[in-house]
Amino acid sequence: MRRTALLVSAALLTSLLPLAVARAADDPAPVPVDRFEGEVPFANPPAGGIFTWGGDTDDPPTLALSKRDDAPEGDQVLSGTYDISGYGGFTHDFAFAEPAHDWSAHKGIRLWWEGQDNGRKIALELKDGGANGEASELWTTSFTDDFSGWKQIEIPFTDFVYRTDYQPVGGIDHVLGLTQMWGYALTLPVGAPGRFALDGVELYGKADQSLRASVLTDSAVYPVDEGGTATVKVTVATTGSAPIDEPVTVAYETAGGTASPSDYTALKGEVTFPAGTASGTTRTVRVHTLKDKAAAEAAETVPLKLTVTGAKAPAETPQVVIDAHGLPYLNAKLPVRKRVADLLSRMSLAEKAGQMTQAERGAVGTGADITAEDLGSLLSGGGSTPTPNTAEAWARMIDSFQLRARATRFQIPLIYGVDAVHGHNNLVGATVMPHNIGIGATRDPRLAERTGAVTAAEVRATGVPWDFAPCLCVTRDERWGRSYESFGEDPALVESMETVVQGLQGPRDGRELKDDDKVLATAKHFLGDGGTAYGSSTTGSYTIDQGVTTVTRKQLDAVHLAPYRTAVDRGVGTVMPSYSSLDIVGDGLGPVKMHARADMINGVLKGKLGFDGFVISDWNGIDQIPGDYASDVRTSVNAGVDMVMAPYAYKDFRTALVAEVRAGRVSERRIDDAVSRILTQKFRLGLFEKPYADTSGAPGIGSAGHRAVAREAAAASQVLLRNSGGVLPLRTSQKVYVAGSNADDIGNQSGGWTVTWQGSSGDITPGTTILEAMRKNSAALTYSQDASAPTAGHDVGVVVVGETPYAEGVGDVGNGHDLELSAADRAAVDKVCAAMRCAVLIVSGRPQLVGGRLGDIDALVASWLPGTEGDGVADVLYGRRPFTGRLPVTWPRSEAQLPINVGDPTYDPQFPYGWGLTTRTAVPEGGPATLAALATAAGAAERAGAGDRGRALVDKARLIVQRKADGRITAAFAAPFADAEHLLLTGRYAEAVRKLAQAYRAI
């Protein structure tokens, strides 16, 4: 039966339904939504029906219509099972082609639920307004399964709140209008297998004004200078935006709070909204504060108590806050160390613990807990964005959270952090840079710094002062799902790219951190996350991420610690420990989680290296330490973690930390050290003077100037691995045949950590795909993704293949991923390259195995993950810029070779570390004599400290050697060739040329 017909026949159906609760005589008849008798099919949008969803392939529940003798209504119920690790549930969407439903006449929604008495919460979500069920506002509430057997759950519409952690299309009007409803969804519990049964979803009761009318205030917090006046706007609003039927009165009174009677003029009164008042009408109440004799005071609060008749009262009592004033820490002219010492001396243990706590924005809702828990920090996890996901909405959201911090005693501003790992990648419309693996391929420290500067400017313009980047991991195994977050396999390469720290922060002394285009940087993940052994991970289905790095102390210092030494020297503001474990051969400790390694965090990072910033844990990182939660807290904090990212367990962390200090298991000195480090960075960022977003740089977000930097980086990141017969560069006059899965997909070419944590395929953010960029350069171009279009009549083919997005351990090889091209991509390569001269571009976060196809491919390009600026790829394809990129990691012949890295005793790759052909018009000529002369000149440059000249001489020698190799890469050639690249990066130019000469002789 169609749902429109079903709702029309509500009265008839109601006579068939058992009534668990007697209804009032004037209540409308219950309106069935789902009876699960087969009237609603299992179907996906845009068709109407019930469908499942989840965070990964294992998370969607199973669903079935089951005959049950005990069914509360009819003969069947909707039943299912689930075992959810991420998130999962099911939805009933009404068909897109049908009118939305009007539920505004009813009090709420109810359903029959078969209780399992497991104490777990089930979230119920409504879809309100918008174009259809998948483009609507989401409103949510929950009920608890704390009973056995069937029970009818009644939920009034007034219990639903607007979802702050996720909205599919952005805010529409932030009002549960009920006049355009598109369906509902249930989110099932996470973490343990379960089963459920559901029946008889229906609308019940009569909507009365006290349920559909609300009184709102324009803010929850009103800061004013001492002696100033706070203006509180009181508004009446209704669901459906209809005028109110009956009068609404709001009595107001100043009462309680921390301010004394001499701090403000007592206020008491009433405002009335008469019947017929339009929804959205506002009245104003003014609270006057007074100057007292105290020259210096902490902030004081004056609650404005509101008593509402005829409507729902505000969720919170608005607070007028008399700003702190006259205290030394507020004096911007004092040195930061003195300001920190003064503020720290005034804080309670609970306030200090709050500063050490970081919560997820989606967990704090409108932010009341920021005040209640004295929170020091919030973050947006990957994909955790405001709605709509615009720069303006980001700034408004963060300002609203900062406003909550103004209601605390010392008004310590929040420090808000995001994972802007290749541009402000959570923000739709931001400039998305190549991932770090591509930046490493550029070998251009100045360009790396410029990409960091663009990222910082776009991030700070949305009110965010802190970036969880750069990742300084040294990737040693391409099976790792985070390979693309690394600049490369050589610590010397990673160190050379750390100019990005200055791009983000400015000079080492931090004097520019307060500027509107700089952010605090984070060196992550300390220590050894790129060296975890395949098969060592114990996190879910991960195979390598978050596993164990086993090294000698010498290997640890030379490979994994070296980039952090450089980062500390560059003044990086924060450091994030790794999820992984470190097993140092011979220390007798075995594998120890990095969040627990005091010898590394306190001893090496803060002690030996002299790091003076603060250490922030990774997402729930302390939870992986063996032991109970109290043990996790004291172990991590005593190990040197200063702030703990406890996204949804922030209350538990703060409570546990206070308890551990009071029990003497964490010293107050350790707490003071941690809080001093955090406050220092907040003062350096200028947050005490300017806590709110400075959006003056917002017009630059996604601007032509910023995209030009990303375009240059994309071009410089392209590595030409093979170019038989000079297929590249292309000529604009050629007839070009383009195929492959990644030719026209902005999501695929941007990779993970783009808009959402895992990223996704498709048109997810503004940008230019490789295909779109090629069309601008080609007089005649045919595109056929699967190469099904006729191939005849074309001069050259370009097949763009590679990976789809992933992030972290989700992308580990063996966890649903491998290093092989997909069957469709292999077929496209085979067909196009058999029909014409061809170039194959591999868009991926790590090398892909080409195998026996290499001989059939005329030109091969490692395109990495170039970001949103596909024009940069076209620039090198069509010769507007020469190919100059070099491999940041070794390209293996087979997966059996992994791990394979420069300096290995056995080294026989498909392409060695540092390999990269060029399309410069003049490639140097020469042989052994030329190389000998270059070595001599390089030695002189080295002795003179002429780095630019030394590097240019090595580059010339490399091009000579690559020309002779012409694809004949053997183990005897590859090892010295790769060694030369490492020597170049460590400033040993003469030895680098000599190694290249050795490679030359091996050909």
Interval 36-90: pLDDT, tens = 999 999 999 999 999 999 987 789 999 999 999 999 999 999 999 999 988 899 9
Average pLDDT over residues 454-482: 98
On average, the pLDDT of the chain sits at: 94
Distance CA 426, CA 115 (A): 39
Q: How does 339-371 read in b/e, with b if 16+ C-beta sit within 10 Å?
A: bbbebbeebeeebbbbbbbbbbbbbbeebebbb
CB 248 within 8 A of CB 308: yes
Distance CA 403, CA 371 (A): 9
| Region class of 999: left (phi > 0), else alpha (psi between -120 and 50), else beta | alpha
The predicted pLDDT at position 15 comes to 32
875-926: per-residue pLDDT in tens?
A: 999 999 999 999 999 999 999 999 999 999 999 999 999 999 999 878 889 9
Residue 455 in 3-state DSSP?
A: helix
The predicted pLDDT at position 170 comes to 65
226 is catalytic: no
Q: Which of 529, 745, 803, 808 is catalytic?
A: 808
The predicted pLDDT at position 757 comes to 96
**Residue 661's pLDDT band (cuts 50, 70, 90):** very high
Amino acid at 543: T
Torsion of CA 476, 481, 485, 490, to 10 degrees: 10
Q: Would the pLDDT of 479 be above 60?
A: yes
Q: Would the pLDDT of 21 be above 50?
A: no
760-772: per-residue pLDDT in tens?
A: 999 999 999 999 9
808 is catalytic: yes
Percent pLDDT > 90 in the chain is 89
Distance CA 462, CA 698 (A): 7
The predicted pLDDT at position 152 comes to 97
CB 466 within 8 A of CB 885: no
Q: Would the pLDDT of 16 be above 70?
A: no
Q: How does 699-738 read in b/e, with b if 16+ C-beta sit within 10 Å?
A: ebbbeeebbbbbbbbbbbbbbbbbbeeebbbbeeebebbb
**Residue 739's pLDDT band (cuts 50, 70, 90):** very high
The predicted pLDDT at position 158 comes to 85
Q: How many CA atoms lie within 13 A of 195 on its CB side?
A: 9
Burial class of residue 488 in the structure, from the number of CB atoms within 10 Å of its CB (0-12 exposed, 13-18 middle, 19+ buried): buried
Which of the two residues, 168 and 636, has the higher pLDDT score? Answer: 636
Amino acid at 357: T
Q: 947-965 and 989-1002 helices cross at what angle (nearest 10)?
A: 0
The predicted pLDDT at position 22 comes to 47
Question: How many CB atoms are closer than 10 A to CB 955?
Answer: 18
Nearest CA-CA partner of 334 in 613, 670, 689: 689
98-139: per-residue pLDDT in tens?
A: 899 999 889 999 999 999 999 999 999 999 998 899 889 999
Nearest CA-CA partner of 666 in 289, 379, 988, 356: 356
Amino acid at 879: G
133-189: per-residue pLDDT in tens?
A: 988 999 999 999 999 999 999 999 989 988 877 888 766 777 788 889 999 999 999
Nearest CA-CA partner of 865 in 811, 902, 913: 811
Torsion of CA 611, 617, 622, 624, to 10 degrees: -100
C-alpha distance from residue 967 to each of 773, 892, 959 (Å)? 29, 14, 13
Cβ-Cβ contacts under 8 Å for 85 (sequence gap 6 or more): 55, 56, 58, 59, 190, 191, 540
Answering whether pTM is above 0.85, one says yes
End-to-end alpha-carbon separation of the chain, Å? Answer: 76
C-alpha distance from residue 796 to each of 56, 410, 736, 873, 900 (Å)? 39, 67, 5, 17, 34
Average pLDDT over residues 653-667: 98
**Residue 490's pLDDT band (cuts 50, 70, 90):** very high
Question: How many CB atoms are closer than 10 A to CB 8?
Answer: 10
The predicted pLDDT at position 2 comes to 28
Cβ-Cβ contacts under 8 Å for 288 (sequence gap 6 or more): 229, 264, 265, 267
Residue 167 in 3-state DSSP?
A: coil
Amino acid at 71: A
CB 865 within 8 A of CB 751: yes
346-400: per-residue pLDDT in tens?
A: 999 999 999 999 999 999 989 999 999 999 999 999 999 998 899 999 999 999 9
Average pLDDT over residues 720-728: 97
Which of the two residues, 369 and 191, has the higher pLDDT score? Answer: 369
Percent pLDDT > 70 in the chain is 97
Q: Which of 140-149, 165-174, 499-508, 597-606 has the lowest mean pLDDT?
A: 165-174
What distance lies between CA 65 and its chain's CA centroid?
Answer: 38
Residue 873 is classified by DSSP as H
Q: Which of 477, 495, 545, 618 is catalytic?
A: 618
The predicted pLDDT at position 20 comes to 39
Q: Would the pLDDT of 209 be above 80?
A: no
Q: Would the pLDDT of 18 be above 70?
A: no
Q: Would the pLDDT of 14 be above 70?
A: no
- In terms of DSSP H, where are the helices of 163-258? 209-212
674-706: per-residue pLDDT in tens?
A: 999 999 999 999 999 999 999 999 999 999 999
Q: Would the pLDDT of 5 be above 70?
A: no
Distance CA 416, CA 376 (A): 9
